[in-house]
Amino acid sequence: MTPTATLPVALDAATIIATINTGLFIDGAWRPALSGATFAVENPATSVVLAHVADGGPADADLAIQAAGRAQKAWGKTSPRSRSEILRRAYDLLMSRQEELALVITSEMGKPLADARGEVAYAAEFFRWFSEEAVRVGGDHTITGDGKHRILVTREPVGPCVLVTPWNFPLAMGTRKIGPAIAAGCTIVFKPAELTPLTSLALVDILVEAGLPAGVLNVVTTSKAGSVVEPWMDSGIARKVSFTGSTAVGKLLLEQASRNVMRSSMELGGNAPFIVCADADLDRAVDGAMVAKMRNMGEACTAANRMFVHRSVATEFAAKLAQRMSELSVGDGAADGVNVGPLIEEKALLKVQGLVDDAVARGASVVVGGSREGGAGYFYQPTVLGNVSPDSLLMNTEIFGPVAPVVPFDTEDEAVELANNTPWGLVGYLYTQDIDRAFRLGEDLEVGMLGLNTGMVSNPFAPFGGVKQSGLGREGGKLGIDEYLEYKYLAIPR
């Protein structure tokens, strides 16, 4: 195993990946899994193995949560300024290594390099934002109505946190949780996704270099998620869980959290409606649709999953969107000029193909795309489907691929009903030039976030999160740190 090292500048992906520690990071030290086991991490563009990473189990999980528990008291009492400065230094380090980290993200996750650079900047901004929030955690003071008591409300770190993240934004989903946890004074046990652990492991070295003390962040990679996370949930030491991933796993973790009544933040799946009204600026709507659909190859919880377009403009919208989709270049995300990388794995590709086949069997037309690309890697063509029937399977499941189903609607009420006809409620997109309609629909749509004439809502300055089965709590913005703080009230006689 290599020692903790600064990532070298301007090297190729293989050389950079060779410098990343591939062990477990527990109590400030790198170590192999107690079993000695490892698992392979592949490049989805080539199926080439990039590295072997320590495969942690329950005994490793126990060491990690014990370390987090021991470190909590002293860490919670450190000054907000010192925590703030660690985050700020980590922000600077992340940005100074943007190119190297982007190469790691592209190698293990597949997104094109330009998108990966964007993810590094987005991810780093959570550290800068929470470095600023760390020193602004306030409290409250009031006098009771009868004038006999002072009420002093203080805020304290919630305690050791279990953080679990998905593979689709391997850096940003981590910093969006680690940033506020550090700012609030919480210690952490962190399990990144099995498919994309390398970026998270590179992040550890950056936080150590920024001055994070031993025991505050403990990272266990594993190929058996439950064997690590469930012992943490049952440990009695962890006081909070913050999870980003599928609704199915989120529900499981909520059940586990109930056993010890743990605070829970859940960023779960989405099924975003993208509504284009008859009065919309159609070119602007197509621009927005390209972002909302194609960012991350459609592998985003925020991806526009269902495009509801007024019947009077549906054919024109689908044709314009198809034209733009057909201009995209599909290939290895590390290659110049590529806009669309591979899907994460073969299983994902087969799922997307199955959803397209089902929609076509129910009467949809393939306006462009509609099948996988030949050769190695898990590539799927950018696809637009016209006249999709609302009972198609892809209307009721996350597509997680570059497929845009266009469904015509006739009335505003129908659009809202179709959009809300899902158990999820993460984000919606609405294109209209009528301000009254914008507010009316904005209020009626059951979502936690709404892009109004924009295809992009993710922003570290904003409270990210959903309603219904898309989750609990908010990440980012002024609310983000609240998820990691408890209130305490002191009653003081006057």
Which positions lie near ligand NAP, rule CB under 6 A? Answer: 164-168, 173, 191, 193-195, 225-226, 229, 244-246, 249, 252, 267-270, 301, 398, 426, 471
210: closest CA among 27, 119, 88?
A: 88
We find the least distance from the C-beta atom of residue 110 to ligand NAP, in angstroms, to be: 14
Q: What is the DSSP string of 390-427?
A: TTSGGGSS---SSEEEEEEESSHHHHHHHHH-SSEESE
- Taking the C-alpha atoms of residue 367 and residue 363, their distance in angstroms, rounded to an integer, is 12
Structure tokens that stand for 97 in this block: 């290594």
The Cα–Cα gap between 69 and 205 comes to 21
Phi, psi of 243 (to 5 degrees): -125, 135
All residues at 6 or more sequence positions from 470 whose CB lies less than 8 Å from its CB, including other chains: 247, 267, 268, 269, 270, 301, 424, 425, 426, 448
Q: How far, in whole angstroms, is CA 435 from its chain's centroid?
A: 31
* C-alpha closest to that of 483 among 230, 212, 249, 176: 176
CB-nearer residue toward ligand NAP: 268 or 441? 268
Nearest CA to 183 among 480, 474, 486? 480
- What are φ and ψ of residue 461, in 5° steps? -80, -10
Rounded Cα gap, residues 130 and 125, in angstroms: 8
- For residue 421, what are the contacts with CB-CB under 8 A and spacing of at least 6? 390
Instruction: Pick between residue 276 and residue 301 the one whose CB is nearest to ligand NAP.
Output: 301
Handedness of CA 45, 51, 52, 54 (dihedral sign): negative
Cβ proximity to ligand NAP: between 173 and 485 the closer is 173
Q: Which is nearer to ligand NAP, 71 or 220 (CB)?
A: 220
Q: How many helices (H) and strands (E) does the chain have?
A: 14, 22
Closest residue (Cβ) to ligand NAP?
Answer: 245
Q: Which is nearer to ligand NAP, 110 or 270 (CB)?
A: 270
Per the annotation, the verdict on 108 as an active-site residue is: no
The one catalytic residue among 100, 119, 125, 267: 267
What is the residue-wise DSSP string for 13-25?
Answer: HHHHHHTS--SEE
φ/ψ of 38, rounded to 5, equals -135, 165
Contact yes or no for 307/406 (Cβ under 8 A):
yes
Q: Is 301 one of the annotated active-site residues of the chain?
A: yes
Spot the catalytic one: 301, 412, 475, 483.
301
Cα–Cα dist 27/215, whole Å: 4
Q: Which amino acid is at 42?
A: E
Take residue 82 and report the two structure tokens written for it: 């010192």
Residue 386 and residue 367 in contact, taking contact as beta carbons nearer than 8 Å = yes
What are the φ/ψ torsions at residue 7 (nearest 5 degrees)? Answer: -65, 130
| 8 A C-beta contact, residue 426 and residue 449 | yes
Q: For the CB of residue 215, give the shortest distance to ligand NAP in the complex, in Å.
A: 22
Q: Record the tokens describing residue 183, joined without a space.
A: 């700012």
The maximal CA–CA distance of the chain, rounded, in angstroms, is 77
Q: Give the catalytic positions in this structure.
A: 267, 301
